[in-house]
Structure 1
Amino acid sequence: MRQLDPRAYEAAEKLMPHHRHTLVSRDRISPVWTDGGAGFWYRADKRFVLVDPAAGTRRPAFDHQRLAEALATASGQDVDAAALPFAAIELAADGVEFAARGGYWRCRLDTYEVEPAQPGPAVDFVELASPDRRHAIFRRDHDLWVRRLADGQEWALTTDGEQDLDYATSPDWWQYSVLVNKLGFPTMPPAAAWSPDGTRVLTHRTDQRGVRRTHRVEALPADGGPARLHTQRYNHTGDERLPLAELVVLDITTGAVVNAQAEPLLMSVVSPVSIRRAWWAADGTAVYFLRQSRDGRALSLERMDPTTGRVDTVVTETGDTRVEPNQWSEGQPPMVAVLSGGSEVLWYSQRDGWGHLYRYDATGALKGRVTSGDWAVREILHVDEERGLVYFTASGLVAEDPYRRSVCRVGMDGSGFVRLTDDDLDHAVTVAPNGAYFVDSASTHDTPPVTTVRDWAGKITVELERADISGLLATGWNPPERFRVKAADGVTDVYGVLYKPHGFDPALRYPVIDHPYPGPQTNRVHPTFDPGFYGQEAEGLAALGFVVVAVDGRGTPGRDKAFSDASFGNIGAASDQVAALRQLAETRPWMDMDRVGVMGNSAGGHQAVRAMLDHPEFYRVGVASCAPHDLRYVHAEFPERYHGMLDEVDYELVSNVDRADRLQGKLLLVHGGMDPNVLVDHTLRLAERLVSLDKDVETLILPGAEHLFLGYEHHLFRRRWDFLVRNLMGVEPPEHRIAPVAFNWEVLAAWF
């Protein structure tokens, strides 16, 4: 059998998340704020840049060559000015400070003399520092403690924590993540939030009494010895007992403990404090939190008095399907803003079929709507209460692509709507802590980002960086094609991207891979130049010689409510993917529709197998990694809110295990043996069912891997590529082996 050119694997490897970031430079700016946001510095191409937004200037933070020479003299070691041996600096009155070469140094910028310095108090990963950096809180056993950073003195804030009823923890899968363990830490930092003045802590007592126990086996412990059993608390869909968060405020000076006089909050997946569904008022006089019913169809904003524990309901909304504080529950805070010292609230709602902002008073009475139209608010950026203006991002205002975000302004009374970014680009925004300006990264799927600072009139005050993609182009990469087709209903528009194979020749016919992620809490396709983790996977497959297609079908966020609600009762359906591929092939004869495969991860892996079961005549080959193949056995919050409660919808419809008899194509199942999020038994259950049916299935278990396979990329990608190359392309993979990558913080950052 013909063997694939090894150069295809080499190009694909370069495009993987742990390598791709080396091919694009100056595309990401991470501001480090100074003086409360009056200025900031950032690092680009391993050089440090200082920005003064008010003056509209950017300049090198220091003379890199002179500092390198001075550090080399002081440390006795060679220092490359183009790759200084530190990633962060502290600005001092007369220079900069940094940790490098095993020491801590200060460089005076008038003389460029480098001398040893005393670093500020260190804060460990497992600690959470106060805003004034005078104290840090941490967990010890089952209680919360505080440490004074100046002298290291420690004292307990709670003393009644116990097993299954402890403080400041998320559910086990997150709090004790294998990912954290790989980085050398025993746990995630406390699930807590400091008051603005740094004297009190908002957290919760975590009640996991009676929560189901599940198990994982660590086959080869790092310290040797026999296999080790890991037991974690992990609720399933329909379980009576879910983890609960009992909100509490702790005073670090008086020792006062104030419990919320309200029922605890459900937290099947992660702490409400950690995802900012519970937060301090700006002046510290109140705590606000969101309460969502188990089925997701009721949402309320509640106010807690941190001195008495009294809780009052401010706003409540109910619906026939889920009521959400935003459509994107992954990585985005709720779109709720408390104004005027608590007398008004901005509230996000999809009650009219689109996501918009509404204005309430402190009694919960509706004062009026703030935004309106056939488009969706994406994020509240800034509220200028003195001028009565709200700044936000919105999608649906760019005719070419309804997912691209625009920066907008409107009056609190709904008047004077203006698009401040009146181009057709997507705008990813970071607002300065003082609210005086924002950093804007403007791009599209085929337009590299330009990063600027803008004022609230939308004017660019200083350009920061233009991305350099020359390394990316050198791999043979081409930008994906953005397309619009009809969904399976023949009426609804759906959008996606198509990646052509490297060295594309329209006279040839190429095998096709559908690369899905069905949400419903996030999109598969990014509107930005950065395609995200899944997009980088797709780029690698295109380098191997496949046509790769990704579609945001009905049931995903970013559009109107009816579009996102399509997942309810039928989560993970692949009919829109099939419809899209068939329509694309009508005008692209080089798409070989006799060789169609599907590959997905997590929820995308569930959809990949479901696609093969629902459309066995269409999908010939599939790869599913870390997938929840039966939604009755995952965190209750996800399926109950997006698919429906166990007693009201059909869970067999979306169970790959129950419908495994429909499999006809070739299937590879992959899972991490230490996955704490979707346990490995999901893949083993499906594999067992397929074996009992005498179906051919390949199963790959990576014993020490978790949900994202971090540290196992070299083996994971090669095995999946080999399977697709053999079974869909019809050739043998090359002898080339992907080089292992040492797992570290830089690799982790690249994946996200």
Structure 2
Amino acid sequence: MLLLLLSLLPALASAAAYLNGQSKHADPLPHIPFNPHWHPAGHSFWFRRQIDDSASRFMTVNATSGVQEPAFDHAALASALNKRGIEATENDLPFTFIDTSSTHVRFRVAGAGMEFDGAQLKDVLGVRENILVPLRLEEPSEDAGGATSVRFVNTSPRALALWWIDTEGNAVAYGPLAASSELLVHTFVGHVWRVGETDGRVLAVWRAGIDEGVARVGEKVVSKLGPESKTVAAKGRAFVRGNQVWVRDESGRETQMSTRGSAETPFRLTVYHSPDGKWAVVWQFTPAQSHNVYMVESSPKDQVQPKLKTISYLKPGDKVAVDRPRLFDLEGRKEVETSEELFASPYAVTNVGWDAESGEYRFIYNERGHRTLRVVGMSTTGAVRAVIEDTQKTFIDYSAKTYTHAIPGTDDFIWMSERDGWNHLYLFDMKNGTVKNQITKGKFVVRSVEFVDDKKRQLWFKGYGLVPHQDYYHAHLARINLDGTGLTVLTKGDGTHTWKWSPDFTKFTDTWSRVDAAPRSVLRDAVIGEEREVVDTGNISTLLRGALVAERFVAPGRDGSTPIYGIIIKPKNFDASKKYPIIEQIYAGPQDFFVPKAFSPLTRQRDIADAGFILVQIDGMGTNWRSKKFHDVCAKNLKDAGFPDRIAWMRAAASTRPWMDLERVGVYGGSAGGQNAAAAVLFQGDFYKAAAADCGCHDNRMDKMWWNEQWMGYPVDASYEASSNVGAAKNLTGALMLIVGELDTNVDPASTMQVVNALTVANKDFDLLVVPGGGHGSGGSTTLGRRRQLDFFKWHLLGEKPKLWNRVGKGASG
């Protein structure tokens, strides 16, 4: 996923083209989503209430009485701003975030802090800002609402780089973020932005909210393989110097304890000292191999001649960096020998820490191939044991389904696992490594843990499948005791829920919606979920402004029983007497599910549907957040992509919707979705007639290591070849359009060109669009790419051949 800052200008143009393309048509579904901001004391919160397309008011809600009122005198403030030469009206103020922590309202306008007491406006320095919290994992952008902005603040003394993550998860280079500077970026609600080093290392990722947000990034960088610190150890502590581990005693005497360190296998700088100060663990590591990928920038801005670009990019089967925890006796000033039998083939290790008695150091070992995940205990005697262990025949979804929490003052440890076939939480006794009890249990999954009350021995979690007779993927909040009793679903209402806690976690606001239902927001208590006050409601007719409601549909999958969920979007001029070709937007990446659940504009989907198609999105087997069995369909089998479920779903939908034409089905997608789209016409050509594949990882041996080994396994075996679009290129029977950016640093662009070569050798016709200077997702992030894809489907599914169309491939015609 790492991107290097290669050529900013072409990539910047790509990002700008997408954003400008969206802003051209004033958002057809204008909506300010409910977004509460709690007072630090927790007694109230404020939010912006939309009045019409261009008007809003700031409201405060008393969390005890439920009384709502304007947060300040809007007319008086607008008048005061106008006197300052700042254009404003009472329903259209030039800011979207207010600070209510003081007795008067504060805000920022054009970077300047101001305070209004109801009559006078004055300049102030201390304004509490809307600091955005970085995402735990990078996620695709969502079209969740209208325009907003993010102010990126770089507090480090070096230049950084900024990327926008599009709606299919593709990273588009946006531009530089100068050292010790700020940059205000105009974006859209739900869009995701990444800041990283200019060499491609990711520092943090944020999602833009309704209000202007501040994304701060500075000197502190956390390595995936463990945090490093350059702080010199105090007396009586271990430290690293010259590739070896040393100890300094109370008198200041320094003694070298290790002898095995070298420039090739150094020790990391972080030292994990035991609570009693008598022991320490330091990780020794062997760096990963070098694997360079080369790309030619054909049309650089600063010269006529092309440039060769080189990036470091590990692929499946390559040698990873290996960390090996080593134990040291600080009183004896020596290393304690320990066996590495239980962590001999790591993909990664993660620190857990010492037990309270300083008798054992613990860490998580993720075995290469991702079929074993264990907590390893390293005793001060040198003995090593498996404290907790999970094994799977297919894979362990370590990248999305890991959670640990130690209960202070006890040996209790919360561990997330799919050992019973569903993603649940378990309470372990770390002394003897046994399960005390399963905390959550049933045919639902735990998505994440909100927080744990260690004293009350309760936890709150986000789950899917918690409410019968609802869409399985609806997110709900629940509370449960650590002994597994007292499961209580706190959110009510048929829809997917989001919530925001009061500072003391005794109350929360609950907002829910669906693609076919407007948002509704209420205030609830955190114990039983009792509704205390209705805060805000939306109107679906107003939000849609004449557009047709997206339709939810569920039908059995390939096995005839498992519910498969999807949505159907009709064109705005829909005529039930006509038959429409179907276009599926596909992304079958096993890391998540992808069918929208909450109300959102669905802008790109509607643009395609309005051209004369029925647009569908479906989550088939092999995608995430259902049972382990459902997920395992993808194991060593990414070519499956849930196609049998998708086809069964479309057939079921068309059986009662005669306007859906199953003889004209197209599909498009980018990245993993690009692989899926091409696979549709290579492996399922009897059903899919046309496919547009953007920046596809068409052969999993060519793509990034971490994502592909997670699902395809290690070592690289025949399953990789079996899922390759390159090997299947000879099977092409329908129409295929391939798009690639020549500077794609997410997916090696040679992956697309190898499909081109295989199609050429097989004497197959195809369409190819290469974007000079383009990065990952050039088909979806450029105006040309989106237009060419739509023209492609109009030609092959509607019979509308574009006036200008350059075909590339065997037998191509102009």
Task: Give me the TM-score of the superposition, normalised by structure 2.
Answer: 0.69
| Counterpart for residue 540 of structure 1 | 607
| Counterpart for residue 482 of structure 1 | 552
Cα separation, 2, equivalents of 1:280 and 1:435: 28
Q: Say whether residues 1:35 and 2:44 are aligned partners.
A: no
**Structure 1 counterpart of 2:614, one-letter code:** V
Cα separation, 1, equivalents of 2:20 and 2:197: 34
Cα separation, 2, equivalents of 1:21 and 1:438: 33
1:236 corresponds to which of 298, 315, 321: 315
Cα separation, 1, equivalents of 2:500 and 2:557: 34
Q: Say whether residues 1:460 and 2:465 are aligned partners.
A: no
Q: Say whether residues 1:346 and 2:355 are aligned partners.
A: no
**Structure 2 counterpart of 1:639, one-letter code:** N
**Structure 1 counterpart of 2:393, one-letter code:** D
Cα separation, 2, equivalents of 1:59 and 1:555: 49
Describe the shift of the 1:407–1:290 C-alpha distance in structure 2 as closer, same or farther (beyond 3 A).
same
Cα separation, 1, equivalents of 2:269 and 2:63: 36
Q: How far did 1:228 drift?
A: 4.1
Q: State how 1:455-534 maps to structure 2 within 5 Å.
A: 455-456=525-526, 457-467=528-538, 469-470=540-541, 472-474=543-545, 476-530=546-600
| Counterpart for residue 72 of structure 2 | 62
Cα separation, 2, equivalents of 1:394 and 1:438: 17
Describe the shift of the 1:15–1:436 C-alpha distance in structure 2 as closer, same or farther (beyond 3 A).
farther
Q: Say whether residues 1:571 and 2:598 are aligned partners.
A: no
Cα separation, 2, equivalents of 1:415 and 1:125: 32
Describe the shift of the 1:600–1:436 C-alpha distance in structure 2 as closer, same or farther (beyond 3 A).
same
Cα separation, 2, equivalents of 1:478 and 1:15: 25
Residue deviations 1:95-138, cap 9 Å, x none?
3444324x523223143323364779999999xxxxxxxx9974
Q: How far did 1:190 drift?
A: 4.8
Cα separation, 1, equivalents of 2:315 and 2:411: 40
Q: How far did 1:522 drift?
A: 0.9
CA contact (8 A) 1:299 1:324 kept: no
Q: State how 1:291-302 maps to structure 2 within 5 Å.
A: 291-301=365-375
Cα separation, 2, equivalents of 1:313 and 1:388: 26
Cα separation, 2, equivalents of 1:321 and 1:609: 25
Q: Say whether residues 1:425 and 2:495 are aligned partners.
A: yes
Q: How far did 1:141 drift?
A: 9.9
Cα separation, 2, equivalents of 1:377 and 1:422: 17
Describe the shift of the 1:633–1:208 C-alpha distance in structure 2 as closer, same or farther (beyond 3 A).
farther
| Counterpart for residue 160 of structure 1 | none
CA contact (8 A) 2:739 2:769 kept: yes
The answer to which of 703-712 and 492-501 deviates more is: 703-712
Corresponding residue SS for 1:93 = coil
1:22 corresponds to which of 11, 23, 27: 27
Cα separation, 1, equivalents of 2:324 and 2:346: 9
Cα separation, 1, equivalents of 2:103 and 2:626: 51
Residue deviations 1:235-288, cap 9 Å, x none?
011112x3568999xxxxxxxxxxxx99899789xxx9xxxx87999x9x9999
| Counterpart for residue 156 of structure 1 | none
| Counterpart for residue 221 of structure 2 | 191
Describe the shift of the 1:61–1:124 C-alpha distance in structure 2 as closer, same or farther (beyond 3 A).
closer
| Counterpart for residue 750 of structure 1 | none
**Structure 1 counterpart of 2:731, one-letter code:** R
**Structure 2 counterpart of 1:115, one-letter code:** D
| Counterpart for residue 332 of structure 2 | none
Cα separation, 2, equivalents of 1:553 and 1:171: 38
| Counterpart for residue 83 of structure 1 | 92
| Counterpart for residue 273 of structure 2 | none
**Structure 2 counterpart of 1:503, one-letter code:** N
Q: Say whether residues 1:627 and 2:696 are aligned partners.
A: yes
Describe the shift of the 1:175–1:419 C-alpha distance in structure 2 as closer, same or farther (beyond 3 A).
closer
Describe the shift of the 1:21–1:525 C-alpha distance in structure 2 as closer, same or farther (beyond 3 A).
farther
Describe the shift of the 1:593–1:169 C-alpha distance in structure 2 as closer, same or farther (beyond 3 A).
closer
Residue deviations 1:202-235, cap 9 Å, x none?
9989986533122344445566675444322210
Cα separation, 1, equivalents of 2:62 and 2:40: 11
Normalized per residue, the structure richer in strand is 2
| Counterpart for residue 435 of structure 1 | 505
Q: Say whether residues 1:323 and 2:353 are aligned partners.
A: no
Cα separation, 1, equivalents of 2:475 and 2:113: 43
| Counterpart for residue 108 of structure 2 | 99
Cα separation, 2, equivalents of 1:341 and 1:170: 40
Cα separation, 2, equivalents of 1:513 and 1:124: 36
**Structure 1 counterpart of 2:486, one-letter code:** G
Corresponding residue SS for 1:616 = coil
Cα separation, 2, equivalents of 1:32 and 1:229: 49
Q: Say whether residues 1:357 and 2:425 are aligned partners.
A: yes
Q: State how 1:260-339 maps to structure 2 within 5 Å.
A: 290-301=364-375, 315-324=388-397, 329=400, 334-339=402-407
Bigger Cα Rg: 2
| Counterpart for residue 663 of structure 2 | 594
**Structure 2 counterpart of 1:466, one-letter code:** T
| Counterpart for residue 401 of structure 1 | 471
| Counterpart for residue 741 of structure 1 | none
Corresponding residue SS for 1:99 = strand
Describe the shift of the 1:564–1:301 C-alpha distance in structure 2 as closer, same or farther (beyond 3 A).
same
Corresponding residue SS for 1:391 = strand
Cα separation, 2, equivalents of 1:24 and 1:510: 24
2:202 corresponds to which of 175, 179, 197: 175
Q: Which runs of 5+ in 2 are unaligned?
A: 1-17, 51-55, 135-152, 161-178, 181-194, 208-214, 233-267, 271-282, 327-337, 805-814
Residue deviations 1:584-619, cap 9 Å, x none?
323322222221111112111111111101122222
Describe the shift of the 1:112–1:244 C-alpha distance in structure 2 as closer, same or farther (beyond 3 A).
farther
Give the paired residue count: 649
Corresponding residue SS for 1:62 = coil
Q: Say whether residues 1:562 and 2:635 are aligned partners.
A: no
Describe the shift of the 1:436–1:400 C-alpha distance in structure 2 as closer, same or farther (beyond 3 A).
closer
CA contact (8 A) 1:176 1:186 kept: no
**Structure 2 counterpart of 1:106, one-letter code:** M
CA contact (8 A) 1:177 1:188 kept: no
**Structure 2 counterpart of 1:296, one-letter code:** H
Describe the shift of the 1:439–1:516 C-alpha distance in structure 2 as closer, same or farther (beyond 3 A).
same
Q: Which runs of 5+ in 1 are unaligned?
A: 1-12, 127-134, 143-151, 154-167, 249-260, 736-752
User: Over aligned residue pairs, what C-alpha RMSD do you find?
Assistant: 4.7
Q: How far did 1:422 drift?
A: 4.4
1:637 corresponds to which of 691, 697, 706: 706
**Structure 2 counterpart of 1:192, one-letter code:** V
Identity of aligned pairs, percent?
29
Describe the shift of the 1:606–1:247 C-alpha distance in structure 2 as closer, same or farther (beyond 3 A).
farther
| Counterpart for residue 441 of structure 2 | 372
Corresponding residue SS for 1:633 = coil
Residue deviations 1:512-536, cap 9 Å, x none?
11222112111121332238xxx54
Describe the shift of the 1:49–1:280 C-alpha distance in structure 2 as closer, same or farther (beyond 3 A).
farther
| Counterpart for residue 445 of structure 1 | 515
| Counterpart for residue 122 of structure 2 | 114
